[in-house]
Amino acid sequence: MRQARFLSPSAETSSSLYHCISRVVDRQFVLGREEKDMFVRMMRQYETFCGVRVLSYCIMSNHFHLLVEVPPKEKGAAVTLSDEDFLARLKPMYSKVYYRGIEQMLERFRADGADAAASELKEKFSCRMHDLSEFMKGLKQRFTQWYNGAHGRRGTLWEGRFKSVLVEDGYAARVMSAYIDLNPVRAGMVTRPEDYKWCSYGEAMQPKASTGREKARAGICRILETNQELGNKAPRSQVWTEGAADHYRMMLFADGEEVFIDECHLNKKGPAAGSHSHVRKGFKRKDVEKVLAKGGKLSVGEALRCKVRYFSDGMTFGSRDFVNNVFKDARERFGEKRKSGARPLKGVGWQKTQTRLYSMRQLVKEPLE
């Protein structure tokens, strides 16, 4: 029997952030331009329906990453959600005929004074809202149905359940967001993240105005909203500004520099003799310096310097206090010998002056992917 998914202990009272990742079965490279376009379209539809906000995303050729904000799941949401808001959430999800049928049924119930029947109708749909699992399940299932129909195949498209990591708001969320947007650069698909259409930063930087572009920009502003490390320079409004774009771009370049990885330790001077080393693809040092010189050096430029499993397998990701508090609230899920929750990330190359991040799980084997 598989264990229930780990969710924030405060999920019913406050919003929670999660990094979600799912891979194509056998990790086949089957997601091309058309498939990625359709996935983003469906992602936005489910975002509207479920009320689960996508802050950052990247659709790769055989997997995808999402950083989402899940509002608290209110009891009796069918009653508190107005008919107008309810119908607005349904409209992108269903055909015109089906939607019109629900709309007419709801109007008839209201006209007849059958408020209980109207609430029951709304509950059939609203019970799936503000729910991480329902959001991911619905998105993956609907995309699979479309993909199988378009390619004449049957069966599951995805490799098991999606993975999710609870992420602390603020600094940890910004590190996670940068990691997600840098995936195509790490994979050598593009040299600049804005050149990749199917990631949040790439969509935010599109010259042509669209609903998707505005949502991507709002997501980046939300990520930067609690940017305490940048002090008074941090954009705290959720309105897209040139300053917000510049700050996020500096974060990406600070995090995305090309480095040598030497036995899980990073060495920018090159690989040590006789060691097992490889180059982690990214931006050239001269390009990083150009970007930082234009906007000033970021104190938040700490960032993780390698692609690590903590982002997908760490269970919880954030400061020591955040991880320990989550552990305390979810104590029953762990054995009696476990005394604390926070485990420092290894194989990352921290500096003493940098803000440290922690995970709920200690990944002693192969922290690097």
pLDDT in tens, 28-40: 999 999 999 999 9
**Location of structure tokens 């999710």:** 164
pLDDT at 266: 42
More confident residue, 196 or 352: 196
Tell me the DSSP string of 160-226: SSPEEEEE-TTHHHHHHHHHHHTHHHHTTS-SSGGG-TTBHHHHHT-SS--HHHHHHHHHHHHHHTT
Hey, is 65 helix, strand or coil? Answer: strand
Looking at per-residue pLDDT, the higher value among 359 and 355 belongs to: 359
- Given a cut of 90, whether residue 131 has pLDDT beyond it is yes
Give dist(CA 97, CA 200) in Å, integer.
Answer: 32
- What per-residue confidence (pLDDT) applies to 251? 72
Phi, psi of 145 (to 5 degrees): -60, -45
Residue 30 burial (10 A CB sphere; 0-12, 13-18, 19+): middle
Domain spans in the chain, listed from the N-terminal domain onward: 77-126
Confidence tier at 226 by pLDDT (50, 70, 90): low
pTM of the predicted model over 0.85: no
Q: What is the pLDDT of residues 263-289, one digit of tens each?
A: 444 444 444 444 444 444 555 555 555
Residue type, 33: R
Report which of residues 260 and 125 the model is more confident about: 125
Q: Which of 2-11, 167-176, 180-189, 294-303 has the lowest mean pLDDT?
A: 294-303
Band (pLDDT 50/70/90 cuts) for residue 9 is confident
pLDDT computed for residue 156 by the predictor:
92
- Rounded to an integer, the average pLDDT of 243-256 is 72
Confidence category of residue 290, pLDDT binned at 50, 70, 90: low
Q: How far apart are the C-alpha atoms of 353 and 300, rounded to whole Å?
A: 11
Widest Cα–Cα separation across the chain: 82
Alpha helices in 51-82 (DSSP H): 77-80
